[in-house]
Amino acid sequence: MISEVTASVLDEAATDSAGDLWFISNPWAAVPRDPRLIHIDSNGAVISRDRLPESVSPAFPEVSSFALAASSSGPLAVVAHHSHAVGRGEYFDGADFVLFDAGKWGAPVKIARSGPEYKTLTALSDGHFLAMGDQSPMVLLRLDPAGKVEWSRRFPANWTLPSGARTEHGGACVLSSGYLVPWMHLMRIDESGKVRFQTSFKGWNGVVASGPSGSCAVLYSIGTANRNRIRFDFKLFDSSLKQKWSITIPVASYVGGSFNLASLTNGWVIVTDSDAGLGEVFMAKYDFSGHTVWSLTEKSLPRTELMVGAGESFYLVGDNPDGRESSIVMKGH
């Protein structure tokens, strides 16, 4: 399935219980400045392009960015993070939570004032949500199904770029990177926010995804002898964060290249830019034992903006080389 969508996209998307894809069009698009919630069904048809309410998308000079997640009970949740610029400085102005259910927007709920940048949202297994704030310090917020903050946890200011994946009983694995140092930190928290297990390892930046029996899979970048090139490692940790296996992705990437990881019901799919200069993309599927199901290196695939799992399938959204304000949506398995 391949579809063209007249919208550039952010780096987060969600799939619902029907396997449909949802994402928010880019608020930085030049014309028009009008972010929309895009709904694409499992056959590739664009179902709707709903305008976001002004309450979570204020007018310039305020700028909003968005994260979204689909709850197990059905509604789609959106976190809108607001900021403004003065000179070369950017100031974070807080974040709102809003539900989208049965084609209607709910009332926004203020979840944060000025402080970290809330750009990641994870739907938890008990119907709650985990909002993650980046930069000075890293903050985790557990939200009930209506967006009320149940607890807030602060972590060291040098923990950055958080990524989250749900585990059983409302818990989560959270991965973060060290600020300007090659250091990764992985922790597993329970529904009360208590850190049950944690581990660290060398790396620069990464993303975490759910696995079977409470395990967590991590894709992250490592250095090479060539300072312009990086490698990616793919690891699986069990429910107590003991490493089960580790794979080095066989194709190197350029520094600054994109990377994505999606959790499926029968494994994971990864995508990395194998050669940003030539436009090549490396993609592979791995089973739960770390064995390669299939892999390919393609120049014809678009540069990946985002990827998200949907059962045994996945959606890949990439740049459309023929249109600045459009994207290509692909579905695979």
Over residues 183-202, the pLDDT tens digits come to 999 999 999 999 999 999 99
Residue 320 predicted with pLDDT over 80: no
Task: Determine if the peptide bond prior to 61 is cis (ω within 30°).
Answer: yes
157-191 pLDDT, tens digit each: 889 989 999 999 999 999 999 887 889 999 999 99
Q: In sequence order, which residues have a C-beta less than 8 Å from that of residue 235 and are 6 or more positions away?
A: 201, 217, 218, 220, 243, 245, 246, 247
DSSP string, 142-206: EE-TT--EEEEEEE-TTEEEEEEEE-GGG-EEEEEEETTSS-EEEEEE-TT--EEEEEEES-S-E
Please give the Cα distance from 211 to 177 (Å, whole number). Answer: 21
- Looking at residue 258, its pLDDT comes to 78
Average pLDDT over the chain, rounded to an integer: 85
235-279 pLDDT, tens digit each: 999 999 999 999 998 887 877 677 899 999 999 999 988 665 566
Mean pLDDT of 111-117: 86
Residue 212 predicted with pLDDT over 90: yes
Q: 221, 204 in Cβ contact below 8 A?
A: yes
Residue 228 predicted with pLDDT over 80: no
Instruction: List C-alpha distances in Å: 85 to 61, 112, 114, 136, 161.
Output: 8, 19, 13, 18, 21
- Looking at residue 9, its pLDDT comes to 56
Residue 95 predicted with pLDDT over 50: yes
pLDDT band at 321 (very low <50, low <70, confident <90, very high): low
Prediction pTM value? 0.90
15-60 pLDDT, tens digit each: 998 999 998 876 554 444 678 898 999 998 989 989 888 888 777 6
Please give the Cα distance from 88 to 101 (Å, whole number). Answer: 38
CATH class for the region spanning 158-301 = mainly beta
Between 261 and 229, the higher pLDDT residue: 261
pLDDT band at 68 (very low <50, low <70, confident <90, very high): very high
